[in-house]
Amino acid sequence: MNLGRLWPLTSKNSNPRPRSKWAETATRIMQEVTLCLASLTPPQTHLTQQPPGNGSPIIFKKAICPVTLKFEDVDYKIKSKSRGFLNKSKSEEKTILKGVTGTVLPGEILAMLGP
């Protein structure tokens, strides 16, 4: 699945951007995850017991509906304003993430950071 480009969230004062292919794909993924989670009722989890003697807690929760997320070639760019010659404002595009590909497995948390 190619998630393509990402963009910054819009503020209350700005107009929302038109939905891109990436936004539609992300929305579909979130809907599927939401449907999966909605089928669970809060204490409905699988409980397993850890063998005694290793000092670990004995109860672990397992996801009933695990999700694996794969992303390919993700770019994230922002527009920044800077002051140029004679205090004139100019806008330039800065790439924060370029060509990032990866997979997030069930139980993992991922954060992507740029420079």
46-49 and 69-83 strand pairing: unpaired
Which burial class, exposed, middle or buried, applies to 105 when counting CB atoms under 10 A from its CB (0-12, 13-18, 19+)? Answer: exposed
Closest CA to 79 of 100, 95, 61, 63: 95
* pLDDT, one tens digit for every residue, the chain (115 residues): 334 444 444 444 444 555 677 777 777 777 777 666 665 555 444 545 555 555 555 455 555 677 888 889 988 888 887 776 777 777 888 888 888 899 988 888 888 776 6
Listing from the earlier edge strand, what are the strands of the sheet with 69-83?
5-6, 69-83, 89-104
Q: How many Cα atoms occupy the beta-carbon half-sphere of 108 within 13 Å?
A: 11
> Is 29 part of a structural domain of the chain?
yes
Q: Please indicate, yes or no, if residue 25 is contained in any of the structural domains.
A: yes
Whether residue 46 lies inside any domain: the answer is: no
Q: What is the Cα–Cα distance from 111 to 47, expressed in whole angstroms? A: 28
Question: Does the model's pTM come out above 0.85?
Answer: no
Q: Is residue 49 part of a domain?
A: no
Q: How many domains does the chain have?
A: 1
Q: Are 58 and 50 in contact (CB under 8 A)?
A: yes
Q: Cα separation of 28 and 20, whole Å?
A: 12
Range of the domain at 114: 1-40+65-115
| Within a domain: 57 | no
Q: Would you say residue 54 lies in a domain?
A: no
Let me know if residue 1 belongs to a domain.
Answer: yes
